[in-house]
Chains A and B, each alone.
Chain A
């Protein structure tokens, strides 16, 4: 293809350019904000659904298999297909389409890791709490969930990092945050600076959020600092 040769010879298409970043800082920041917002909403919604699901699976053992299997199937379905299932009903230009697909996708990671965390709660601690007169909810809120926090945080971290990467899929319908920059750069004459800026910000956002969650997890579970990892 002739335009490919032209591109490789052209000095005007660098991989990175401050000029581009300066001139488009508004667009870039807006995309970054959209990306972070979508990620936060998706992870919060997924947590609100997944942690109760994990607790149900923990309380009623026979439900463990079905719950894990259902979220496993949702996780196996490709992200693009999930988007394709949701979009015709919710609307192709609606950010909610992307949000719903992201939530469904993040469920498994949080459910599985929360359940693993809950299953690791030492039976001695539960026995002691029951002996002290804790009821089912007291046991859950004051013993089980705090002790399962490392597992829950692991699930949240994995879900957050993969959600940040997955938001870009939404660029197919123009709702992909930084993905819009990446795909837009590709479609407008293979503009390398725009593609790479979007990518670097996306990876940076994922690593930053991962670090924040890891720190929060450490602060919330001072007793496990030594045992962690």
Chain B
């Protein structure tokens, strides 16, 4: 017996406990999705934060930051997902993680750069005047003051990675997108419900991550900075094209 309406089919599919607990079911795929995304964001932070903060500290490379974000915007995710497994990275999870990390870099980099750049020069001068060296200024003054920006970049990058991780299914890389791809493989009359259910799961996950990290971002932003920060972040985001 087959429900004719895709929404009914989706509800039926999602209410089947086996679809959750089977190998390759929702629980499995969710775990894969979160693990791939977390690894990609961590890798992106590892690369982008030091470079972004150093560029901001040195006051150079603003155009490089903009150029990198424009260039990555033009590269299709699927291109990297298909090219990287054919390089020395080999098949499996590593190429997927690297591909997603590439797309996490621009928001992380831009926010780290803007965060350090937008620090009141007087705070920096005062630190210099107290005899702090360049590294000490970076570590003790600029880093703490840039934390709200780093958090904003982290949120943007994480949401983007969680969203793009769904595309890993194109190269059989796992994650919740696999449910959608499998549904398309079955065809619309059989898999319609599964496609819709997978879409809802992926969308909910992205919105959930966005909401949680928005709370985190607010928590690490000192109260007096909250209003002004929101505006500055939107401006930085508009400049680099990342929401």
**A residues whose Cβ falls under 8 Å from a Cβ of B:** 1, 4, 7, 72-73, 75-85, 87-89, 91-92, 108-109, 112-113, 116, 154, 158, 161-162, 164-169, 171-173, 176, 178-179, 182-183, 185-186, 190, 192, 195-196, 198-199, 202-203, 206-207, 210
Please give, as numbers and ranges, the residues of chain A lying within 8 Å of B24 by CB-CB distance. Answer: none
Taking the closest CB of chain B, its distance from the CB of A28, in whole angstroms, is 15
Docked complex Cα distance between A14 and B214 (Å): 46
Residue pairs across A and B with Cβ atoms less than 8 A apart, 11 shown, are: A77-B207, A87-B195, A112-B238, A158-B73, A161-B73, A169-B78, A172-B180, A176-B78, A178-B76, A185-B82, A207-B74
| B170: contacting residue among A92, A171, A198, A202, CB under 8 A | A171
Question: When the two chains form their complex, are residues B83 and A78 in contact, meaning their CB atoms are under 8 A apart?
Answer: no
Size category, B interface: 35 or more
A68: nearest residue on chain B (CB-CB)? B234
- Indicate if B243 sits at the interface (CB-CB under 8 A): yes
Docked complex Cα distance between A34 and B166 (Å): 24
* Total number of residue pairs linking A and B with CB closer than 8 Å: 149
Question: When the two chains form their complex, are residues B163 and A78 in contact, meaning their CB atoms are under 8 A apart?
Answer: yes
Task: Assess A76 versus B74: contact at CB under 8 Å? Given A88-B188, A169-B167, A186-B171.
Answer: no
Please give, as numbers and ranges, the residues of chain A lying within 8 Å of B164 by CB-CB distance. Answer: 78
B188: nearest residue on chain A (CB-CB)? A92
| A173: contacting residue among B163, B184, B198, B238, CB under 8 A | B184
B130-171 vs A, CB cutoff 8 Å, 1 = contact: the mask equals: 000000000000000000000000000001001110110111
Question: When the two chains form their complex, are residues A84 and B243 in contact, meaning their CB atoms are under 8 A apart?
Answer: no
Question: When the two chains form their complex, are residues A81 and B200 in contact, meaning their CB atoms are under 8 A apart?
Answer: yes
The residue among B74, B85, B163, B203 with the most chain A CB atoms within 10 A of its own CB is B74
Question: When the two chains form their complex, are residues B90 and A87 in contact, meaning their CB atoms are under 8 A apart?
Answer: no
Task: Assess A84 versus B180: contact at CB under 8 Å? Given A78-B166, A112-B238, A162-B73.
Answer: yes
Docked complex Cα distance between A143 and B74 (Å): 33
Taking the closest CB of chain A, its distance from the CB of B92, in whole angstroms, is 9
Question: When the two chains form their complex, are residues A78 and B202 in contact, meaning their CB atoms are under 8 A apart?
Answer: yes
- Indicate if B187 sits at the interface (CB-CB under 8 A): yes
Question: When the two chains form their complex, are residues A76 and B76 in contact, meaning their CB atoms are under 8 A apart?
Answer: no
- Indicate if B192 sits at the interface (CB-CB under 8 A): yes
A92: nearest residue on chain B (CB-CB)? B188
Please give, as numbers and ranges, the residues of chain A lying within 8 Å of B206 by CB-CB distance. Answer: 76-78, 81
Taking the closest CB of chain B, its distance from the CB of A112, in whole angstroms, is 7
B209: nearest residue on chain A (CB-CB)? A76
Apart from the given pairs A87-B188, A199-B83, 20 other A-B contacts in the complex at a CB distance below 8 Å: A4-B90, A7-B86, A76-B163, A80-B177, A80-B199, A81-B180, A84-B198, A87-B195, A88-B188, A88-B193, A162-B73, A166-B76, A167-B76, A179-B76, A182-B76, A185-B82, A186-B171, A195-B86, A203-B74, A203-B76
Taking the closest CB of chain B, its distance from the CB of A180, in whole angstroms, is 10
| B192: contacting residue among A82, A88, A165, CB under 8 A | A88
Question: When the two chains form their complex, are residues A202 and B238 in contact, meaning their CB atoms are under 8 A apart?
Answer: no
Taking the closest CB of chain A, its distance from the CB of B36, in whole angstroms, is 14
Pairs of residues from A and B, 3 with the lowest C-beta to C-beta distance, nearest first: A84-B199, A78-B163, A206-B74
Docked complex Cα distance between A207 and B184 (Å): 32
B200: nearest residue on chain A (CB-CB)? A81
Question: When the two chains form their complex, are residues B82 and A92 in contact, meaning their CB atoms are under 8 A apart?
Answer: no
Please give, as numbers and ranges, the residues of chain B lying within 8 Å of A165 by CB-CB distance. Answer: 73-77
- Indicate if B210 sits at the interface (CB-CB under 8 A): yes
Taking the closest CB of chain A, its distance from the CB of B96, in whole angstroms, is 13
A206: nearest residue on chain B (CB-CB)? B74
Taking the closest CB of chain B, its distance from the CB of A141, in whole angstroms, is 25
Which positions 171-203 of chain B face chain A at CB distance < 8 Å? Answer: 171, 177, 180-181, 183-184, 187-188, 192-193, 195-196, 198-200, 202-203
- Indicate if B241 sits at the interface (CB-CB under 8 A): yes
Please give, as numbers and ranges, the residues of chain B lying within 8 Å of A72 by CB-CB distance. Answer: 243
- Indicate if B70 sits at the interface (CB-CB under 8 A): yes
The residue among A1, A161, A186 with the most chain B CB atoms within 10 A of its own CB is A186
Please give, as numbers and ranges, the residues of chain B lying within 8 Å of A113 by CB-CB distance. Answer: 238
Docked complex Cα distance between A192 and B180 (Å): 26
